[in-house]
């Protein structure tokens, strides 16, 4: 039975359904290791560490393993920005150049663009990512970092390079997943007059007890080794390394060692490190309405569609809130999730989602890039949780 026809998740044999998907994926050598956590009604109903944190060293995955979060950083940093909004220190309709006077990108016609915090948080700012562009595209030519390589430059220098490239479109008129959260991170640092790492710690991770989460791994012994999909089995990522994304694009430039380098600039969109348990704590806080962290009204804005009917490439049937995708049409998205479900992933191999109607939160962190983010594993895991039977 589809969850769309049911009143609640079928918890009978839930663990068995999830185990079957995980064990099959490991046996197929599509993942090296993972930590999966599922909470329903605030109760942890499934928690399992599987596979290997380091295959070459035969180090087993542990439930408190640390992972390079990549884009899982975005909801954390977006939450920090909303805490500042709640405190009256930042407004969603503030112009970005109020806080970052040097960041003044131009439109295609050469005029200066009007960019707001809302544009950054909804990814309607006219920006992109280098990995989305063609080889030797404008970002690569300008030396723009996506925040996952070891660029050796400061955040300020990266934003200077970014602002030197014309925007792809007039802010507010289109949606494109982008480096906007890195710009948002710079705003947060400016508003708080502190490094982004300190700001996120004081605004989000410390109040929620997320002691595993930051811009540097808190314990290198717990940091999982990163792998890339390959045949006949995933290969360890080099440092640096590159991974193909889609045909015709430049692909990802990755530097796994960045997670241990305290000189790397703080990338708000891709630079954090953390554990599955920590991230589940954030998701549950937001699902329950923000608790002492945020007013419910801001959580509502964050987790409901804010971009109208703007089309979203790669995510049919979904809209975008303030830092996360929001499900509008389960049929178009081909998913058993309830309308209103919010989810995202991360390049290094992560996926997560929250289904408020089912009071469900799921965190699936893996150490295998792309497969754990958008591969068959994420589809199979979701289907197993909702007990969607394949016809």
Query: What residue spans define the domains of the chain?
Result: 3-67+206-229+276-386
Task: Name the pLDDT band for 215 (thresholds 50, 70, 90).
Answer: very high
Task: Name the pLDDT band for 391 (thresholds 50, 70, 90).
Answer: very low
Residue 336 has pLDDT above 50, yes or no: yes
Residue 368 has pLDDT above 90, yes or no: yes
Give the pLDDT confidence of 85-137 residue by residue, as tens digits.
999 999 999 999 999 999 999 999 999 999 999 999 999 999 999 999 999 99
Residues annotated catalytic, as ranges = 71
Q: What is the pLDDT of residue 2?
A: 39
Give the pLDDT confidence of 48-99 residue by residue, as tens digits.
999 999 999 999 999 999 999 999 999 999 999 999 999 999 999 999 999 9
CA distances from residue 188 to 91, 182, 183, 261, 267 in whole angstroms, order as listed:
11, 10, 9, 21, 12
Average pLDDT, the chain: 95
Question: Which residue, among 154, 112, 146, 109, has the nearest Cα to 129 in the 3D structure?
Answer: 146
Q: Whole-prediction pTM value?
A: 0.96
**What CATH code is assigned to 3-67+206-229+276-386?**
3.40.710.10
Q: What is the pLDDT of residue 362?
A: 98
Higher pLDDT, 239 or 373: 239
Task: Name the pLDDT band for 314 (thresholds 50, 70, 90).
Answer: confident
Residue 3 has pLDDT above 60, yes or no: no
Q: What percentage of residues in the chain have a pLDDT greater than 70?
A: 97
Residue 346 has pLDDT above 60, yes or no: yes
Q: What is the pLDDT of residue 232?
A: 94
Q: For residue 94, give every residue at least 6 positions away whose Cβ sits within 8 Å of its Cβ, in sequence order, or none.
A: 116, 117
């Amino acid at each position: 039975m589809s969850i769309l026809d049911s009143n609640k998740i079928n918890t009978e044999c839930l663990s068995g359904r999830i185990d079957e998907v995980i064990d099959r994926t490991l046996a197929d050598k599509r993942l090296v290791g993972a930590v999966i956590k599922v909470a329903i009604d605030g109760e942890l109903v499934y928690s399992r560490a599987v596979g290997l944190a380091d295959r070459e060293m035969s180090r087993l995955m542990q439930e408190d393993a640390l992972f390079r979060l990549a884009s899982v950083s975005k909801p954390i940093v977006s939450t920090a920005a909303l805490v500042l909004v709640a405190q009256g220190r930042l407004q969603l309709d503030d112009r970005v150049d109020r806080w970052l006077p040097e960041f003044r990108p131009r439109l295609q016609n050469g005029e200066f663009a009007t960019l707001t915090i809302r544009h950054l948080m909804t990814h309607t700012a006219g920006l992109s990512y280098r990995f989305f562009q063609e080889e030797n595209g404008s970002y690569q030519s300008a030396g723009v970092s996506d925040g996952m390589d070891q660029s050796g430059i400061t955040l300020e220098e990266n934003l200077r390079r970014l602002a030197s490239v014309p925007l792809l479109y007039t802010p507010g008129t289109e949606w494109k997943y982008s480096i906007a959260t890195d710009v948002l991170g710079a705003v947060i640092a400016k508003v708080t007059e502190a490094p982004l790492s300190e700001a996120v710690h004081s605004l989000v991770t410390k109040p929620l007890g997320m002691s595993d989460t930051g811009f540097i791994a808190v314990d290198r012994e717990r940091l999982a080794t990163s792998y890339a999909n390959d045949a006949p089995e995933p290969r360890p990522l080099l440092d640096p390394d590159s991974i193909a994304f889609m045909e015709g694009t430049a692909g990802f430039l990755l530097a796994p060692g960045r997670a241990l380098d305290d000189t790397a600039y703080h990338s708000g969109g891709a630079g954090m490190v953390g554990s599955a348990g920590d991230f589940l704590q954030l998701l549950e806080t937001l699902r329950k309405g923000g608790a002492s962290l945020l007013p419910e009204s801001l959580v509502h804005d964050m987790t409901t569609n804010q971009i109208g009917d703007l089309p979203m490439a790669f995510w049919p049937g979904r809209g975008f809130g303030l830092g996360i995708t929001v499900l509008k049409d389960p049929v178009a998205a081909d998913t058993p999730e309830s309308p209103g479900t919010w989810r995202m992933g991360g390049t290094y191999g992560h996926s997560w989602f929250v289904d408020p109607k089912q009071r469900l939160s799921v965190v699936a962190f893996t150490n295998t890039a792309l497969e754990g983010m958008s591969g068959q594993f994420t589809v199979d895991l979701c289907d197993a949780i909702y007990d969607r039977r394949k016809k």
